[in-house]
Amino acid sequence: MSNDELYAAGLLNRALDPATQPPQIRAFLQEEVALLSDVIVDGMAMVDVGCGTGRHLAVLRDRLRIGVGVDYEHSYIVEACRTARGPRLHFVTGDATRLPLRRSFDIATCLTNTWGTMSDKPAVLDEMRRLAPMRLVSVYAEASIPARREWYRSLGQVVVDESDESLTTEGGFRSEHFSEKRLRTLVGECTIRPFADIGYLVLF
């Protein structure tokens, strides 16, 4: 199965269950929320690319002027509309390489290594640049490999191939990890910060 098929089958929902998460993964997710709470100030407009079920926007709903989440998996958008309600939150099914948005935002995010599961990474970055002057991506570093192996196994996705750039499971799920050098090659001019011991924050 492809990543698209696995996400359609509900992989994300299972992954977000804390019971499936090794401590390092849980800490990474918690630090993302803390980071957003520090970065997002009252009245900002935010677009979350690959928003899944809208959990990040839901946390910020009371301080955003407008929050828009985009994900290609329609079932996740349906769930986001149901669970992450708010008069200033909006969720749209769409392709991250051709975002169906024309307005501008203060910040564009792509979090929890979502960018590391996307095939056309440069096009996603170009869309984020088009929409906002501040862009933030969080990805996994090589240090995440042991925790991700454990996490994926708990989701029924045993890793059968490991390379310098990715893990692939027997079910066909592929998730990438990054070095600073590779990130600079892919992103271009950017600021890279270590994050939660197993990842990086990329500001570009």
* 197 and 24 Cβ atoms separated by less than 8 Å: yes
Considering the segment(s) 3-141+178-203 as one domain, its CATH architecture is 3-Layer(aba) Sandwich (3.40)
pLDDT of residue 5: 76
pLDDT of residue 6: 72
Determine the average pLDDT of the residues in 179-185.
98
Backbone angles phi, psi at 61, to 5 degrees: -60, -30
- Which one, of 187, 194, 185, 184, lies nearest residue 142 by Cα? 194
Element (H, E) at 17: none
CA 66 to chain centre: 19
> Model confidence at 8, in pLDDT bands (50, 70, 90)?
confident
Determine the average pLDDT of the residues in 3-8.
72
User: For the chain, what is the mean pLDDT?
Assistant: 95
pLDDT of residue 66: 98
pLDDT at 192 > cutoff 90: yes
Show the tokens assigned to 173. 């799920």
pLDDT at 7 > cutoff 80: no
Element (H, E) at 72: none
The residues spanned by each domain of the chain are 3-141+178-203
Query: Across the chain, where does the E strand assignment appear?
Result: 44-49, 64-71, 89-93, 107-110, 134-140, 159-162, 166-169, 174-176, 191-195, 199-203
**pLDDT tens per residue, range 113-164:** 999 999 999 999 999 999 999 999 999 999 999 999 999 999 999 999 999 9
pLDDT at 79 > cutoff 80: yes
pLDDT at 13 > cutoff 90: no
* 46 and 67 Cβ atoms separated by less than 8 Å: yes
